Chains A and B, each alone.
Chain A
């Protein structure tokens, strides 16, 4: 078997590579949303945060020449959008789902507006670590070119899992999410806890966006995100608000999203668009299987409006 002609093995390899590459934005957004939702609020605006993060990362990377400053800028932008969401939601009688929809439109629009001059230039991209050095097959090497952000995300999942269980901050967030009365009785401001949780969530979602523009696909254009943000929000429900399950779910979704391009590369082009919709169909199917009208989902924060 000569190099470059590994036949149908291309498909599983590409899916594996996709699981690593495509899953990173899913991973960051879902971990961020996990923190926000555990505090009792849902932020549907992370789709807009993702696009804003992608745009600001690309812009800062282009202007400063440092992609890592771009990642930081994306995180800060995301945190600011999170603060905006939490600020509006802390007003009385304001629905957090509706605010999320508004920020989805606002973030996307603002990113397109500010990002107009960034479509042409090329910004420095994030470096990758070559885990495929042992192989001679280019497809294997391509699949195993792993970005540092992916490794950070993978490390973050168990850290968050541990933090929710054992740290003071994890307990506070969970208290705010399970019973705001209890948190208030303990003398904590629920609004402040949720503000911080939403800002951290936005920070992570922004970083997820920076991965889109600085690594894969690795450029800025208006079609960069096609609903990854909202898929990741649904993914948190599927992962039962558990950071470790978020990691596995993100990998599965990355693999599903890579299926279309992988099949196209071996000549299966007929269902290209349907395979591209695989993550959405998968999300919907999983939600249909796992949800139930008779009981609230196990693991769901009791204060969350979306599960009531």
Chain B
């Protein structure tokens, strides 16, 4: 107790707001956006600890191995960041349409179609210089994924079809298309047990960031998230999108082209997820097969909600959830937990985060009244 009070940082942290009541009024909102999701995350971890304790595992061991497997060593950090890369991109697929008030949960489908398009581009351009092939893969992945989600946006705008359900149906359709092509027209005859396309070629792989095992996809993700943030919060287009998301009727009255907004945002959203598919092909798998449906699209939805649909906040949240999935292997080996435990934890976090939405604006001391 005394040591805590003696800590100057702690003391400043607790006294300064009281001395300046305006501080909380100005920053209460920002503090809320960190405090409430943080509390939800802590609550979810607590609930998951109780859950594994019911199966006779020690929750403290659980937390230790989760930390160790996610952020404990340089090796685990690299594993975490490798998994965070596609999560940043698929989270953007939910976060961008959310600015317009749309709930798109089809990132997984856009990822698969993006991977398929990127692989096709690479296979068509075999023999060209690697840089050209890689650029073509990025373009093909973005366009493929973008058009896939834009379809949901267009159906919503022109036919009134609910975008949440259509995007989810399109995930299943995308998987069927992928399986159809991988086992049919695009199949590499040499892939016997696991039907796959031909490999894109080692020269065309995008490789790792120098000095690490983390592939360049992480940089793609960071650039995309920052670009999305600038687009949404610092451009006229982003402002128009947020106006339309706040009040669609007002947006129409002031003459905004809502159709164009919806289609563009959905294209960019799908393009991000399609880029994730391209990255998984060009940096990890080297070819397209059913392994690509690893659930990054679905975890991305959780990342977007936990980040409260803010493109910049997506980066740390994606790293956090990348860490959780990176620690899954260690939890299996050391604690004997099933691989689905990561799914359970993700579900619990999601439930807690959504329930915590009720808390905004209700925490007394953050209103600066005390």
Confirm or deny: B180 has a beta carbon within 8 angstroms of a beta carbon on chain A. yes
**What CA separation (Å) do A98 and B166 show in the bound complex?**
15
> Would you call A112 and B343 a contact (CB within 8 A)?
yes
Decide if the interface of chain B is mainly helix, strand, loop or mixed.
Answer: helix
Confirm or deny: A63 has a beta carbon within 8 angstroms of a beta carbon on chain B. no
**What CA separation (Å) do A93 and B362 show in the bound complex?**
12
**What CA separation (Å) do A88 and B355 show in the bound complex?**
6
Please, which residue of chain A has its CB at the minimum distance from the CB of B305?
Answer: A98
Please, which residue of chain A has its CB at the minimum distance from the CB of B155?
Answer: A288
Set of chain B residues within 8 Å of A277, measured between Cβ atoms: 172-173, 175-177
> Would you call A110 and B354 a contact (CB within 8 A)?
no
Set of chain A residues within 8 Å of B159, measured between Cβ atoms: 287-288, 291-293
CB distance from A303 to the nearest CB of B (A): 15
Q: With contacts A277-B172, A288-B159 known, is A233 near B165, CB below 8 A?
A: yes
Confirm or deny: B189 has a beta carbon within 8 angstroms of a beta carbon on chain A. no
Q: Mark A69-90, 1 if CB is under 8 A from B, else 0.
A: 0000000000000001000100
Partner of B105, one of A99, A101, A273, A274: A101
CB distance from A143 to the nearest CB of B (A): 25
Confirm or deny: A158 has a beta carbon within 8 angstroms of a beta carbon on chain B. no
> Would you call B176 and A273 a contact (CB within 8 A)?
yes
Q: Which of A5-13, A166-174, A246-254, A278-286 contacts B (4 or more CB under 8 A)?
A: A278-286
> Would you call B172 and A101 a contact (CB within 8 A)?
no
Confirm or deny: A231 has a beta carbon within 8 angstroms of a beta carbon on chain B. yes
> Would you call B176 and A276 a contact (CB within 8 A)?
yes
Set of chain B residues within 8 Å of A44, measured between Cβ atoms: 164-165
Q: Which of B20-28, B67-75, B214-222, B344-352 contacts A (4 or more CB under 8 A)?
A: B344-352
Partner of B169, one of A102, A107, A280: A280
Q: Mark A174-205, 1 if CB is under 8 A from B, else 0.
A: 00000000000000000000000000000000
Confirm or deny: B179 has a beta carbon within 8 angstroms of a beta carbon on chain A. yes
Confirm or deny: A218 has a beta carbon within 8 angstroms of a beta carbon on chain B. no
Those of B328-362 within 8 Å (CB) of chain A: 338, 340-348, 350-351, 353-355, 357-358, 360
> Would you call A230 and B165 a contact (CB within 8 A)?
yes
Greatest chain B CB density within 10 A among A108, A276, A277, A294 is at A277
> Would you call B343 and A113 a contact (CB within 8 A)?
yes
Confirm or deny: A92 has a beta carbon within 8 angstroms of a beta carbon on chain B. yes
CB distance from A52 to the nearest CB of B (A): 11
**What CA separation (Å) do A277 and B158 show in the bound complex?**
24
> Would you call A108 and B160 a contact (CB within 8 A)?
no
Confirm or deny: A258 has a beta carbon within 8 angstroms of a beta carbon on chain B. no
Decide if the interface of chain A is mainly helix, strand, loop or mixed.
Answer: helix
**What CA separation (Å) do A105 and B353 show in the bound complex?**
13
**What CA separation (Å) do A112 and B173 show in the bound complex?**
23
Confirm or deny: A94 has a beta carbon within 8 angstroms of a beta carbon on chain B. yes
Please, which residue of chain B has its CB at the minimum distance from the CB of A297?
Answer: B160
Set of chain A residues within 8 Å of B172, measured between Cβ atoms: 226-227, 277, 280
How many residues in A have their beta carbons less than 8 Å from beta carbons of B? 51
Confirm or deny: B273 has a beta carbon within 8 angstroms of a beta carbon on chain A. no
Partner of B173, one of A105, A233, A280: A280
> Would you call A88 and B351 a contact (CB within 8 A)?
yes
Partner of A109, one of B103, B162, B340, B357: B340
Set of chain A residues within 8 Å of B342, measured between Cβ atoms: 109
> Would you call A230 and B169 a contact (CB within 8 A)?
yes
Confirm or deny: A106 has a beta carbon within 8 angstroms of a beta carbon on chain B. yes
> Would you call B160 and A291 a contact (CB within 8 A)?
yes
Set of chain A residues within 8 Å of B161, measured between Cβ atoms: 284, 287-288, 291
> Would you call B179 and A273 a contact (CB within 8 A)?
yes
Those 3 A-B pairs whose CB atoms lie nearest each other, nearest first: A106-B347, A109-B343, A277-B176
Residues of B at the A interface (CB closer than 8 Å) are: 103, 105, 155, 157-162, 164-166, 168-173, 175-177, 179-180, 183-184, 298, 301-302, 305, 338, 340-348, 350-351, 353-355, 357-358, 360
20 examples of A-B residue contacts, CB within 8 angstroms: A48-B347, A94-B355, A95-B103, A98-B103, A101-B350, A102-B347, A102-B354, A103-B347, A105-B346, A105-B347, A109-B341, A273-B177, A274-B176, A287-B155, A287-B162, A287-B166, A291-B160, A293-B160, A306-B162, A306-B164
Known: A105-B346, A277-B172. 15 other contacts (CB 8 A): A88-B354, A94-B357, A97-B103, A98-B354, A106-B347, A106-B351, A113-B340, A113-B344, A227-B171, A271-B180, A273-B176, A280-B169, A280-B172, A291-B161, A294-B160
Residues of A at the B interface (CB closer than 8 Å) are: 44, 48, 84, 88, 91-95, 97-99, 101-103, 105-110, 112-113, 116, 222, 226-227, 230-231, 233-234, 237, 270-274, 276-277, 280-281, 283-284, 287-288, 291-294, 306-307
